[in-house]
Amino acid sequence: MRLSKHRAGAGVVATLAGVALTAGLGLPAQAQETDGGEAPAQGIQVQDFEALKVSPSLRDLNGEVSAYVQFKGDGAFGQTQPEAVKEGREKPVNKRERVRQIRSTIEAQAQSAAAEASAEALYTTTNTLPGVAVRGDAEAIKALAGRDDVASITRIVPKTVDNKGADIDTRALDSWVQRSETGEGITIAVLDTGIDYTHSSFGGPGTVEAYQAAQASETIPAADSGLLDPEKFIGGYDLVGDDYNADPSSPTYQPVPKPDLNPLDCGGHGSHVAGTAAGYGTNDDGSTFRGDYTKLTAEEVNGMRIGPGSAPEAKLVGIRVFGCAGSSAVVGQALDYVLDPNGDGDFSDRAQVVNMSLGSEYAPYDDPENAIVDKLTELGILSVTSAGNSGDVYDVGGSPGNARSSLAVASSIGSQVTLDRADVLAPAEVEGTASGQYSSNFNYSDPAVTEERLTGNVVMAPANNRFGCEAFPAGSLAGKWVWIQWEENGQFPCGSGVRFNNAQAAGATGVVLDSPRSVFDAGIGGNAAIPGIQLNRDSSDRLRPAAVAGTLELRLAPQYMATATGPSESQDTISSFSSRGLHGSNGVVKPDVAAPGSSIGSVSVGSGDGASTSSGTSMAAPHVAGLAALMYAATDYNPYEVKTAIMNTATHDLFSAEGSVLAPNRVGSGRVDALDALNNKVLAYATDDPALTSVNFGVLELGDEALRLTRSITVENKSDTPRRYTVSYLESSTMPGVSVSTSPRVDVPANGKATVEVTLDIADPAALAKTIDPGAETEQLGLARQFLADVSGRVQLAADGVPTLRVPVYSAPKPTAAMSAGTGVQFADAEAGAADVVLRGRDLQQGEGSSRYLSLVAPLVLGAESPRLEKVNMESLRAMDLQAVGASSTLPALRAAGADERDAMLHFGVSTWDNWPILGGSNEINVEIDVNADGVGDYQVFTSRAADLDVVLVSTYRINPDGSGELVDQYGANGVLGDTDTNTFDTNVVTLPVAVEALGLDPAAESLPIQYRVTTLSPYNSDENGGNVPVDETAWIGFDASSPALWFSGATPEAGLFADVDGGKLTVNRGTEVTDAKALFLHLHNGTGDLSGAAGLGGRAEILPISVPAPVVNPVSAVAVCNAFKSEIKVTVTNPGDRRADITLNTPYGNAKVQKLQPGETRTEVIKTRKLTTAAGKVTADYKWTGGGKAEKAEFTAPFGAVKCSR
């Protein structure tokens, strides 16, 4: 497939990691330094790069949908329990009958609502919030909004699933030994794929047969069945069934839950998570650890097959929200369930901690399930969530991890990692064991897999195919295991599946992949036909010579999985997959803390007593859930206080691979410390936001005035001893011109409170330069990332003899311009085809290189204006409420400049009624383009995201007759990548570029009429009534890509984006018949302004009507004629004014006067020349209007021809 791109001749082409991109973005000097004098505005070139795979358009989300209908009022817990219970100070009051009555009422409402919409009720929530989840036709659900009992309707977005060393690193082991805290008496609810309660780590029999017996049961086996330990696993529920999968893109999509009473795990994720949180631990011989946790040593823990969970004596409730694979849309129901696991109306069995190692990417802060999380916190239950596994991408961390009151956990690398073991059988000099990770797609536990099949002689892949990405000669590897090089210089030529398949096709019976890494970033899939292992760095280096010699023999075994331990050599570095969190746009900053999550060994489902190794924030979160259980057991803290205590004492810095201390936006306070959390009796949290704990100054727009903001931290002493702390600020990410300071010390009385002030100062906004977090990557996938400049760190409180405390501090300052293109575009007269617009105001020209802020503007032809919607279903959807849209074409400017017309670009511009924190992911701007006037879109241009890349992509797809799409063009938003700042974060304007040729249009054509319409989309939108529909959309808008009503030119003919600097001049060109068009100017770097709809369009969008004077009819005409052999000039004058006129006529042959000519009156005067011949000339008529005010004057001329009279 050929991608139509901006031609490389326009700039210098550089190659980075095999990706071609235009690098010529340096602006001429006059664009860089101006003094307010007028000069043509410099243009910004569109940057090219090789197309990337993106997620499909959200436009595909239609038809049948799942939605949550929330009824008005509180749930059963809120209606029956006093505040002291909600705050954790008292046990729940047993009001079972009243609870049943409330539930009955809510369930009746649910049935009524589902029936009214002819929809299927998926589940009902009665404890937290009253409501029902329904599935049915989107249009049929809409009418429910008219019911008096309905508070809101929101679409359900499916969520997906995201110990030894961790126990030691985080001092959970020390907490058991020194504090005798093991979580006894506390219940952790695990919302996941279920729990294999038959496993030895949960006190089960520890046999495969026991698992199979439990599988055959439709209910949880009885306490005396011998299949479970009722002191560990106290109950649960399967809300969905084995075949459930809420992912509509999956071939196994089956969105209708089939609940049952047995939450036995069949996916494995939930058992691994539960083992990390609260497993007893499994001894090396496979038996359950039944010893005294308070006497364990690190050596003994390391000697176990599976280490204990961080709260080994806490109880577990398993709430299964996933089928055996896929995603889930019933998390809201599960959250409601944790208040009353056995459903008897008595809340005394509620869990105190919920672990959710699940989530959705890019979810907005007001995801409806976040409201349930926050309600649970209010009711006394802390939700510990995974931060996500989408890497170093701004705001990619989603719900429920971005709920304000949740404790969101990032993943770090511990001091040691759990690996799979292999026996080295030969040669003798390397006999023993090796460590690595087994391929995941091969079933090592299948009874049909013999020891012989898991044993192999290893040979090296040929040098010319050392990566195994090409086919091997047929039969060349018959009966052998092949050693394949996995990577080189961090590059992976192909995936593991391709390599395993190639090896198998050549007769190989196994695969060995090497690695230069001690910690694996990700697992290997391989295939289902042959076994394989990827060795860690130490084993690779030790065994490679034997493989070269052809003498290496290895043996794998299912019982060896997750039984090897190795040093990570990377303790307290970030796991590369751990998601960057929200950046405070809407008051929420995440993640909160970090914990070990790379190569964690825990329970292997269905194995009886086996272990498995997994990596992810899914593995980090349950470790912290266990720490929360320790805190609940040791204190009378409410969930807000438990969260704060864990955050305050997470004082272990985490580092990037390059050694930079990571900022709060990536790891929160730091890596957790269980013992410090338990020993600490002082809490510190944001005074104005205790649920968040962190201090958030938010996104700050700076004009030309200095700024000083002060926030306070409440320091609460829960001990009988007064404390004095030395206070300091530890900076993580910085920005020129910004400083953060604190009170130098604070004295906190016993059982009292004090405050610490945190002050952010920006003395000179002109000093701000765009600086990247030192722990962030500047390039991703070989492309310059779009990054956010922020200022963050931690306030630290230190005192002798007590744990040090930290509170994260975050802000995102940015300078803004205040530029304007004026109020209109004035053409000089009816014949004028061009008019200049001079940009005026306070511009941005500060910083250098990729740290530079240069204000930019996009001029477009206004296509449509859209009033502010009266209501949106979620406040975050306001950012998709259209305000104005327009389009521009560079084709006329290229043609006028004699440049290559094939470089022509279209730019579609959009402004909305609120800022988006980021564009893409959970929102989309979509432009349909109809190129053949049949009213059906032929192309779609939409904002999108690619995995592991912080760039808003604009992708263009050709729509095929069968409805499928083919990518034909792709650029960054506003046409550039991250090394040119176009203010893509926290803004409400953007342009979407597409090449004219990519739309199948011929740039040489004089006219290229198209029509386009703009739609904004979100998977969360239900058009305020339910069902997935656009947030906003326009009608079809006509536009001519070759001869638009208006086109714009500056110093650079191929540009659609220009430097928005004081004195910059843009020429607005119009078609000869165009008199009533409007221009839309999008000032990308202006401040937000007032977007309430009460005072114009805010600060960034300007609409300028063009003004073309009406054609002037000359009121004077003249002709030379002959009269009696003499020539004379007849002059006819008309009064075009509204007052009487006196007119003086002047010719080379004489003058005349016309007096008191009334409005509209016409007279003819004759000027006698007294000559036979008169040469051609002109008459000048000086008009003077008088009467009724100040006299006005005007001059008109009229030509006359030559005449020759004869006698």
3-state secondary structure 417-448: EEEEEEEEEECHHHCEEEEEEECCCCCCCCCC
**Which tokens in the block code for residue 114?**
């589902």
Contact 269, 190 (CB under 8 A): no
What is the spatial distance between Cα 322 and Cα 247, in angstroms, rounded to a whole number?
Answer: 11
3-state secondary structure 305-366: CECCCCCCCCEEEEEECCCCCCCECCHHHHHHHCCCCCCCCCHHHCCCEEEECEECCCCCCC
Please name which of 1098, 1097, 1046, 1094 lies closest in space to residue 1072, comparing C-alpha atoms: 1046
Which amino acid, residue 119?
A
Write down the H helix ranges in 959-1097: none
Matching residue, tokens 């009885």 = 222
CA-CA distances (angstroms) from residue 231 to 185, 196, 253?
10, 15, 37
Strand order of the β-sheet with 1192-1200 is: 1150-1157, 1141-1147, 1177-1185, 1192-1200
Give residues with Cβ within 8 angstroms of 975, minimum separation 6.
44, 45, 46, 47, 905, 907, 991, 993, 1056, 1057
Dump the DSSP string for 1089-1147: ---SSSSTT-SSEEEEEEE-PPPPPPSEEEEEEEETTEEEEEEEEE--SSS-EEEEEEE
Query: Which among 152, 360, 411, 618 is annotated as catalytic?
Result: 618
Write down the H helix ranges in 170-316: 172-179, 208-215, 269-278, 298-302
**Which tokens in the block code for residue 567?**
């040093």
Query: Which among 167, 192, 673, 981 is annotated as catalytic?
Result: 192
269 is catalytic: yes
Dump the DSSP string for 82-100: -HHHHTTSSPPP--HHHHH
What is the spatial distance between Cα 251 and Cα 89, in angstroms, rounded to a whole number?
Answer: 49
Burial (CB count <10 Å: 0-12, 13-18, 19+), residue 38:
middle
What is the spatial distance between Cα 48 and Cα 19, in angstroms, rounded to a whole number?
Answer: 9
> How big is the CA angle at 794 (ends 791 and 797), to the nearest 5 degrees?
150
Contact 646, 407 (CB under 8 A): yes
Give residues with Cβ within 8 angstroms of 631, minimum separation 6.
637, 642, 645, 646, 677, 678
Please give the backbone phi and psi of residue 662, each rounded to the nearest 5 degrees, phi first: -80, 145
Which amino acid, residue 630?
L
- The total of other beta-carbon atoms located within 10 Å of residue 1170's CB is 9
What is the spatial distance between Cα 1021 and Cα 704, in angstroms, rounded to a whole number?
Answer: 38
Contact 819, 742 (CB under 8 A): no
576 is catalytic: no
What number of H helices and E strands is found in the chain? 19, 70
Q: Per this entry, what is the length of the chain?
A: 1207
Query: Which among 6, 199, 269, 907 is annotated as catalytic?
Result: 269
955 is catalytic: no
3-state secondary structure of 1048: strand
How is residue 879 annotated by DSSP? G
Give residues with Cβ within 8 angstroms of 511, minimum separation 6.
439, 468, 481, 482, 484, 499, 500, 503, 526, 530, 531, 532, 533
Q: Catalytic residue positions?
A: 192, 269, 618
